[in-house]
């Protein structure tokens, strides 16, 4: 196909899925710098995409709008005159939106809705990191994407909770090693038992001399407070933050430990070290599995290669943590020498 002039990326939701699409956005802009690139998503997507330098326009939809407003929205998509649409979600709603753009090239993976698209991209027979899977669209177009770093723009305007926290929590501010724990998940089956998190947190304080802060989001404060009560060692509650304020906060920590949730992707985007826990989700799909970012897979020895997250025992997690600890200490050393990280472009690793 000829070099496209106007491109639409479609990833309607969730926050984690949207942030995992940002490398494709960046790699498209690198390959076609003169192209206009828009992104279609739920309004929540602005939490991830606002201020993204590779993006021209964020288009959002209202899932509760009346049919006449929906018709106007479809007409708006058609009026944009896109040359190329990459639908990373290909569910009924996104397929409809993609089809009504009228773009001559509309890409998706195989599904029951593939008649809505012009190009069906082959998926790997093996489970692979979602970012790499999304890159298959770009490879189908003849591009050679390489950089899988996640983009979550934030700057000094998002640092207020962190700055106030460092003044109030002097122990954390001066700690040689800062650990953030995110024990929550909106799905109970993807949440590791909270008493085991408390056990690991205590060991991090006692054996690793770490200062441990527990992070939380809307509706999770009481859950995390109850988790802290299970601990025997001094623990710290993170401040209330917006999504990008959380990014600024985690960027100034050294190690993230948590379930496969939104904060885990925020941690990966900020290049600190992280260890994720996976149960019925495949770790190799949701974690980059690098030196700095690792995962523990429940039921890895089972025929399907996964199992209930409760199968992960504290000793197994601690063993995985010990294996990567030299790299965690290296991250902490570089953070101490660098000082406070004040924006998303400062990559100290």
pLDDT at 231 over 90: yes
Supply the pLDDT for residue 310.
97
Complete edge-to-edge strand list for the sheet that includes strand 84-87: 57-60, 36-41, 6-10, 84-87, 105-108, 119-120
DSSP labels, 279-346 = SSS-HHHHS---SSEEEEETTTTSTTS---GGG--HHHHHHHHHHHHHHHHHHHHHHHHH----STT-
pLDDT value of residue 160? 97
Percent of the chain with pLDDT over 90: 94
Task: Write the DSSP assignment of 27-54 as a string of letters.
Answer: HHHHH-TTSEEEEEE-GGGHHHHTT-TT
Residue 1 pLDDT grade (very low, low, confident, very high; cuts 50, 70, 90)? confident
- Tell me the H-state helices in 187-313: 194-208, 221-229, 243-251, 262-269, 283-286
Query: pLDDT tens digits for 4-19?
Result: 999 999 999 888 899 9
CA distance 29 to 37: 8
Contact indicator for 35, 7 with CB cutoff of 8 Å = yes
Tokens of 158: 């998002």
Does residue 333 contact residue 218 with C-beta atoms inside 8 Å?
Answer: no
Q: Among 337, 309, 268, 299, which Cα is nearest to 130's? A: 268
- φ and ψ at 48, to 5 degrees? -95, -45
* pTM (2 d.p.): 0.93
Both tokens assigned to 82:
């896109």
Q: How much is the pLDDT for 129?
A: 97
Query: What integer pLDDT is reported at residue 12 of this predicted model?
Result: 96
Q: What pLDDT, in 10s, does the model give residues 284-319?
A: 999 999 999 999 999 999 999 999 999 999 999 999
Domains (range + CATH), the chain = 6-140 (3.40.50.2000), 156-338 (3.40.50.2000)
pLDDT for position 63: 85
Q: How far apart are CA 315 and CA 138, in angstroms?
A: 41
Q: Is 74 exposed, middle or buried (0-12, 13-18, 19+ CB in 10 A)?
A: middle
258: pLDDT confidence band, cut at 50, 70 and 90? very high
Q: Is the peptide bond before 14 cis (omega within 30 degrees of 0)?
A: yes
Average pLDDT over residues 104-109: 98
């Amino acid at each position: 196909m000829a070099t496209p002039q106007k491109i639409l990326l479609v990833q309607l939701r969730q926050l984690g899925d949207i942030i995992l699409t940002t490398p494709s956005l960046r790699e498209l802009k690198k390959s076609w710098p003169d192209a206009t690139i828009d992104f279609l998503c739920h309004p929540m997507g602005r939490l991830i995409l606002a201020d993204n330098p590779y993006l021209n326009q964020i288009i959002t939809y209202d899932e509760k709008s009346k049919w006449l407003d929906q018709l106007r929205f479809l007409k708006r998509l058609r009026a944009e005159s896109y040359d190329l649409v990459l639908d990373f979600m290909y569910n009924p709603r996104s397929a409809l939106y993609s089809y009504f753009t009228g773009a001559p090239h509309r890409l998706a993976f195989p599904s029951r809705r593939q008649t809505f698209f012009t190009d069906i991209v082959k998926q790997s027979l093996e489970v692979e990191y979602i970012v790499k899977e999304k890159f298959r669209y770009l490879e189908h177009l003849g591009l050679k994407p390489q950089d899988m770093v996640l983009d979550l723009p934030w700057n000094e305007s998002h640092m207020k909770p962190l700055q106030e926290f460092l003044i109030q929590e002097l122990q954390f501010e001066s700690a040689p090693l800062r650990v953030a724990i995110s024990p929550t998940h909106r799905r109970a089956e993807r949440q590791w038992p909270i008493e085991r998190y408390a056990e690991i947190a205590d060991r991090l304080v006692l054996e690793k001399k770490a200062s441990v802060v527990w992070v939380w989001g809307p509706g999770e404060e009481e859950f995390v407070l109850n988790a802290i009560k299970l601990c025997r060692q001094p623990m710290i509650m993170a401040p209330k933050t917006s999504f990008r304020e959380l990014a600024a906060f985690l960027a100034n920590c050294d190690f993230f430990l948590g379930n496969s949730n939104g904060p885990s992707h925020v941690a990966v985007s900020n290049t600190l070290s992280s260890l994720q826990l996976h149960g019925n989700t495949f770790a190799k799909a949701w974690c980059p599995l690098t030196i700095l970012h690792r995962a523990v897979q429940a039921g890895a020895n089972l025929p399907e290669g996964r199992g209930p997250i409760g199968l992960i025992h504290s000793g197994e997690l601690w063993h995985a943590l010990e294996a990567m600890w030299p790299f965690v200490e290296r991250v902490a050393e570089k953070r101490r020498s660098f000082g406070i990280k004040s924006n998303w472009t400062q990559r100290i690793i």
